[in-house]
Structure 1
Amino acid sequence: MSVKRPVKADFLIAAQDHGYDLSDSQIESFLSLADETLGSYEAIDALYAAHVAQPTPVREHSKPANADNLHGAWYVKTHITGAASGPLAGRTVVIKDNVSVAGVPMANGSLSLDGYVPSEDATVVKRLLAAGATVVGKSVCEDLCFSGASFTSASGAVKNPWDLTRNAGGSSSGSAVLVSLQEVDMAIGGDQGGSIRMPSAWSGIVGHKPTYSLVPYTGAFPIERTIDHVGPMANNVRDCAVMLDVIAGADGLDSRQKNPPAVSCVATLDQGVAGLKIGLLREGFAIPGMSEPQVDALVKAAVAQLESLGATVGEASVPWHHGVALDMWNVIATDGAAYQMLQGNGYGMNVDGYYDPEIMSYFGAKRREHANTLSSSVRAVALTGHYSLKNLHGASYAKARMLVPELTRQYDEAFKDFDVLVMPTMPFVATPLTAADAPIEEYVHSALNMLANTAPFDLTGHPATSIPAGLADGLPVAMMIVAPRFQDALALRVAQAYEQVRGVFPRPPRG
């Protein structure tokens, strides 16, 4: 492929951005050098096309009619059958639309990717199909996945199945709703600030954020490499555990992974909680200006049921959990997403491992073409991150990353006294949907005001399971169970014990 050469005006702009004072003759010299170097770019294009690029398979798919998509949760439907046998044989799975399914359109909730068709399945999709699952479609997610609410997708709001006027949670909004409505057996979600657990909580299903790097992110559209997670969502704990056993493990491609240990969550799922120590995280309850008393009460009642099964319950404290952790997440997510997801077109550079040049090229062009259609939450990140990177030079990001080990240490200290930590997944019940034309401040705050208990564990990488704990005024409330890193099986085991004593959670009235 021929690479367009720069002209004098291009280098004048570049020189100004770098603070270079160049004469016309100097610019001409640099243009000549660029012409030589860009010949290598053309050579790489040809080599990639010959040795790496894959043809896009043809897979049947269709956009559902509005009458068949009342909650706005489906992006596209398909029917891709997996292996004839396996732990997921006969089970239906929907894939969050930031995860590649070859031959099936992908939008990532945004016009900036709408129409893109991947040529290769993400690793998690390959593993689900190999385990016998049937992939029945892609679920709507929030605009570039940067919202904990469900009103930012370019396709429109995803409606809560318990109350159509309220948020379903995001950014894995469609995945949670389709599972809650039992239109699918299980779903894949992604989580950078709580995006598996938050919609699971508000939609009344089980969601598990795995330990960071346990499940390969290969083939999912990144936001920020150090907080990217992908994981299972289902109507019960066992399905989440089976699914996690299938998708976990190194794939040799994802740079986030450094030989994660093998897991077998199903094997220990029914061992109960007798003898376990459960810590109620003080800072996760009664959060000023945020927590609702009925939410805290329902979660504490759920823990009391675990105590009745033989667990010991006490109070744990992690001082940085409230306030400090969210400040750290704000800096890392803002600078990191601006640098990697936006300026770096999803993948950025400077790490070994898997890249998707086709999606980088497509998104890089389309995000400028559709810049004014991006959600206000994405544009807030773009503008603040651009300012920060230009004027603070990435140092704030570096400071926040250097503080993460201390936050991790504080949680790990608590795990010396307790096997798991428990708190509400969301401090309050599902909020009313925000209008697309709401004032910018209201829009962005509504999209990101619920991360207090979930985002810290994207920073530290601890596994966390969200499980319904009851209803408050007819809306789901969820308990979050956090375990030491790579002890995902323990978090799911505690959730399973609670699920068994709680009984079957009611289905939404509109399901």
Structure 2
Amino acid sequence: MSIRRPTLEQLKMIADKYNLFLTEDELASYQHTIDNTLVSYDRLSHYSEPRLPTKVPRTPGYRPDKWENPLNAWYWKTSIKDENATGKLSGKTVVLKDNVFLAGVPMMNGSRVLEGFVPDEDATIVRRILEAGGEIVGKAVNEDLCFSGGSHTSHTGPVRNPLDPSKMTGGSSSGSAALVGAREVDLAIGGDQGGSIRVPAAWCGICGLKPTYGLIPYTGIFPIDRSLDHTGPMASSVEDTALLLEVLAGKDGLDPRQSFFPVEPKKYTDYLTGDIRQLKVAIVEEGFGWKNLSDPEVDQAVLQSAYSLQHLGAKVERISIPWHKEGLHLWNIIAIEGGLKQMINENGVGTGWKGHYSTALTEFFHCRKKLLAKELSNTVKFVILLGEYMQQHGGKYYSTAQNISRRLNAAYDYALEHFDVLIMPTVPMKPLKIPGPDTSIEESIKIAVEVLINTAPFDITGHPSMTVPCSPSYPIGMMITGRIGEEETVLKVAHAYEQLNR
């Protein structure tokens, strides 16, 4: 299909926007050159575009009624499996966070703007799940464009905590955590740019692992900022978390995130021995006692759980990492300005990287976002307003935050030269009540961000970080963080703790 050629008036508007100060004769010259160059654009219609493979036949499934969805955690129900596949996930049911492409099945990503989008290809991780014998039973509700640590921003309404329906699950992988916590599914896929696997897992009393940056391919998943994007497993046990990680991990040759750390997958279940003798565990002081945030019962539960590892032969010490206090400040800048650029202005895809581009998503999102922007959540509107305001500085603060973040990396890495894992509360407080319709904009945004205070720094640095339940009385998560590429150590400690407390 031929591209419509620009008029002189359209070119003048562009020139004025960029202060080019072109005369009418100059504009006419540029118009002629542009017309000739657009022949290259026209040529693209002569070729078929490569798609991610979709090998397993499926029907589109259905959107469940309220009686079938009491927690409001399901967005769509399906039954997709390879009848001939036998593997590590045989007999296991898996739900996908609704920012993951599943060909032929609607994807909303929690947002009115994406409602009606149906991917035409499978994400890499979908193919791996099906090849391993897993059954994909649906898509789980997540927060509006994934930008919330609460579970109150999805266009389909709040997701309710299976342990107390008056409380939030946490976000943004809210439905994934709720469905695993309610034992409606065996396994779930979550996404984590600021804590969105670990926060809801902690509040729903399950396990959730944010892997090393790039260990699991992000191909075919809606992003926020390429430097923050992680996807990973959620399950009711450490063993199942490790099992799903084995299936998901490894390069696909299409995700630029995987070129940053040279990480190779391992057989993680082999490390679940229960033997953590001689391992050194650091309790990070700065993860506790947050003013006006930390619940003393949460702090105490995590401290007791960390010290209990001494019974298994681990050496446990308290240490200080002052840079941890700066993590959320750096994350705010990177997530807001980066999210505006890639997620909003560049339609979730952007430019300047080698790999697979999801053009169907780009086209759909571009056409819909201006039409329906008024229906975005408060948190996404906040990202747009602040992110655009800061563009007057030309990206200076985003660049500075990324540069300074290397000091945050170095601080954690220095500690991990002396200790095998770092421990702190996943979320400083117990699950919060679902905000009511009269909740102010300020309070709604505050809830969405403040729960990320301990988790977000590790999305910047890319360290593997996992939450494991650590209290029989309340849904409290103990967060265990390890060296880049050493998920096996994190899982080993989490599994040993889990076995100790069964």
User: Which TM-score band applies after superposition, normalised by the shorter structure?
Assistant: over 0.9
Does the Cα contact within 8 Å between 1:255 and 1:354 map onto a contact in 2? no
Within a 5 Å distance, the mapping from 1:154-233 to structure 2 comes to: 154-233=155-234
CA distance change for structure 1 residues 435 and 23 in 2, over 3 Å: closer, same or farther?
farther
Does the Cα contact within 8 Å between 2:378 and 2:445 map onto a contact in 1? yes
Verify: 1:359 aligned to 2:358, yes or no: no
Instruction: Please give the root-mean-square deviation of Cα atoms over the aligned residues, in Å.
Output: 1.6
2:280 aligned partner: 277
Shift of 1:248: 0.2
1:293 aligned partner: 296
CA distance in 1, matches of 2:91, 2:44: 43
Identity of aligned residues (%): 44
Which stretch of structure 1 is more off in the superposition, 59-68 or 89-98?
59-68
Shift of 1:228: 0.3
CA distance in 2, matches of 1:95, 1:282: 35
CA distance change for structure 1 residues 55 and 33 in 2, over 3 Å: closer, same or farther?
farther
Within a 5 Å distance, the mapping from 1:477-492 to structure 2 comes to: 477-492=476-491
2:121 aligned partner: 120
Shift of 1:53: 8.6
Does the Cα contact within 8 Å between 2:58 and 2:80 map onto a contact in 1? no
Does the Cα contact within 8 Å between 2:52 and 2:124 map onto a contact in 1? no
Describe the superposition over 1:90-123 as per-residue Cα deviations: whole angstroms up to 9, x where unpaired.
1000000000011111011111111111111111
Q: Aligned with 1:175: secondary structure?
A: helix
Aligned residue pair count: 498
2:257 aligned partner: 256
Q: Aligned with 1:286: secondary structure?
A: coil
CA distance in 2, matches of 1:133, 1:271: 27
Does the Cα contact within 8 Å between 2:282 and 2:419 map onto a contact in 1? yes
CA distance in 2, matches of 1:379, 1:37: 37
Does the Cα contact within 8 Å between 2:274 and 2:499 map onto a contact in 1? no
1:59 aligned partner: 59
Structure 2 residue runs without a partner (length 5+): none
Q: Aligned with 1:61: secondary structure?
A: coil
Does the Cα contact within 8 Å between 1:91 and 1:134 map onto a contact in 2? yes
The letter of the residue matching 1:75 is Y
CA distance change for structure 1 residues 11 and 54 in 2, over 3 Å: closer, same or farther?
farther
CA distance in 1, matches of 2:7, 2:199: 49
1:403 aligned partner: 404
Does the Cα contact within 8 Å between 1:278 and 1:312 map onto a contact in 2? yes
Does the Cα contact within 8 Å between 2:107 and 2:116 map onto a contact in 1? yes
CA distance in 1, matches of 2:54, 2:46: 15
Within a 5 Å distance, the mapping from 1:371-410 to structure 2 comes to: 371-389=373-391, 391-410=392-411
CA distance in 1, matches of 2:384, 2:418: 41
2:81 aligned partner: 81
Shift of 1:58: 5.4
CA distance change for structure 1 residues 15 and 54 in 2, over 3 Å: closer, same or farther?
farther
Q: Aligned with 2:342: secondary structure?
A: helix
Describe the superposition over 1:144-173 as per-residue Cα deviations: whole angstroms up to 9, x where unpaired.
000000010011110111221211100000
CA distance in 2, matches of 1:52, 1:203: 36
Does the Cα contact within 8 Å between 1:316 and 1:421 map onto a contact in 2? no
CA distance in 2, matches of 1:41, 1:384: 34
CA distance change for structure 1 residues 99 and 436 in 2, over 3 Å: closer, same or farther?
farther
Shift of 1:8: 3.3
CA distance change for structure 1 residues 275 and 327 in 2, over 3 Å: closer, same or farther?
same
Structure 1 residue runs without a partner (length 5+): 504-511
Shift of 1:39: 2.1
1:47 aligned partner: 47
Describe the superposition over 1:292-348 as per-residue Cα deviations: whole angstroms up to 9, x where unpaired.
1000000111112211111111012211101x1111111111111111111111111
TM-score by length of structure 1 reads 0.95
CA distance in 1, matches of 2:102, 2:140: 12
Describe the superposition over 1:349-387 as per-residue Cα deviations: whole angstroms up to 9, x where unpaired.
011112111111111111111100011101111111112
CA distance in 2, matches of 1:399, 1:121: 36
Q: Aligned with 1:33: secondary structure?
A: helix
1:509 aligned partner: none
CA distance in 2, matches of 1:353, 1:55: 18
CA distance change for structure 1 residues 311 and 370 in 2, over 3 Å: closer, same or farther?
same
Shift of 1:185: 0.2
1:338 aligned partner: 340
Partner residue of 2:320 out of 317, 322, 328: 317
The letter of the residue matching 1:208 is L
CA distance in 2, matches of 1:11, 1:481: 55
2:18 aligned partner: 18
Does the Cα contact within 8 Å between 1:151 and 1:435 map onto a contact in 2? no
CA distance in 1, matches of 2:385, 2:397: 16
The letter of the residue matching 2:336 is T
Shift of 1:22: 2.4
1:508 aligned partner: none
Q: Aligned with 1:303: secondary structure?
A: helix
After TM superposition, what 4+ stretches of structure 1 lie above 6 angstroms from structure 2? 53-57
TM-score by length of structure 2 reads 0.96
CA distance in 2, matches of 1:6, 1:168: 49
CA distance in 2, matches of 1:293, 1:15: 59
Partner residue of 1:302 out of 284, 305, 314: 305
Verify: 1:265 aligned to 2:268, yes or no: yes
Does the Cα contact within 8 Å between 1:92 and 1:185 map onto a contact in 2? yes
CA distance change for structure 1 residues 33 and 130 in 2, over 3 Å: closer, same or farther?
same
Q: Aligned with 1:416: secondary structure?
A: helix
Describe the superposition over 1:234-292 as per-residue Cα deviations: whole angstroms up to 9, x where unpaired.
00000000000110011111111124223221011114211111100010011122111
CA distance change for structure 1 residues 435 and 72 in 2, over 3 Å: closer, same or farther?
same
CA distance in 2, matches of 1:276, 1:153: 42
